[in-house]
């Protein structure tokens, strides 16, 4: 993306002699590799359950495969077919997995706060970006905290134990 500055106006750059796309005819004159890159969508592996809304966003961007409960060996055998991997806390992205990707894996997305289940040093060595969603569950954590405070103030745990012991007192 190029922004126009005063120097561009004062000393304009020469216009290229040939365009890569002939808009009048609608033909694309770029090399076949560039055309293929433009037309292919990234392959995304989701290894743990995500909400349907999140999956829909991913499907708009790429080709999504949801393969849950993969063993480390299964993940390593399949990862070379994917450009991106979306994990939660259950999938361990180890050096073996990153090596098995053979350089194709470009990003590991962690749907959650921490990234302790991803080998960051190996990811860096293999040129794989690791990202997370640190604020993804802040609302849920706050709601849980309020629920615990409410349970404490209303003696919910004691009432539960009393009912289970058959000591329910009416009134």
Tens digit of pLDDT for each residue in 95-152?
999 999 999 999 999 988 889 999 999 999 999 999 998 887 888 889 999 999 999 9
Confidence (pLDDT) at 114: 85
Kindly state whether residues 129 and 144 are assigned to the same domain.
no
Which DSSP string corresponds to 49-73?
---HHHHHHHHHHSEEEE--S--HH
In a domain, 77, yes or no: yes
Least trusted range by pLDDT, from 25-34, 42-51, 151-160:
25-34
Q: Fill in the DSSP letter of residue 81.
A: G
Instruction: Report if residue 25 sits inside a domain.
Output: no
Instruction: Calculate the alpha carbon distances from 83 to 28, 88, 109, 128, 166 in Å.
Output: 26, 17, 11, 10, 57
69 and 106 belong to one structural domain: yes
pTM exceeding the 0.85 threshold for the entire prediction: no
Whether residue 124 sits in one domain with residue 143: no
Residue percentage of the chain with pLDDT more than 90:
61
CA atoms within 13 A on the CB side of 42: 17
More confident residue, 5 or 77: 77
Are 115 and 48 contained in the same domain?
A: yes
Residues 88 and 163 in one domain: no
């Amino acid at each position: 993306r190029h922004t126009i500055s005063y120097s561009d106006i004062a000393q304009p750059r020469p216009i290229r002699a040939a365009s890569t796309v002939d808009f009048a005819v609608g033909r694309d004159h770029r090399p076949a590799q560039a055309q293929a890159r433009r037309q292919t969508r990234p392959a995304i592996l989701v290894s743990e359950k995500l909400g349907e809304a999140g999956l829909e966003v991913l499907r708009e961007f790429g080709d999504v495969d949801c393969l849950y409960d993969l063993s480390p060996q299964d993940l390593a055998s399949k990862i070379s077919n994917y450009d991106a991997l979306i994990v939660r806390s259950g999938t361990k992205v180890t050096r073996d997995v990153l090596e098995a990707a053979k350089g194709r894996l470009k990003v590991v997305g962690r749907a959650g706060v921490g990234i302790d289940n991803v080998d960051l040093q190996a990811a860096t060595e293999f040129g794989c970006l690791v990202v997370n969603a640190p604020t993804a569950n802040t609302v849920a954590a706050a709601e849980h905290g309020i629920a615990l405070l409410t349970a404490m103030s209303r003696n919910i745990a004691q009432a539960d134990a009393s009912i289970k012991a058959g000591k329910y007192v009416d009134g």
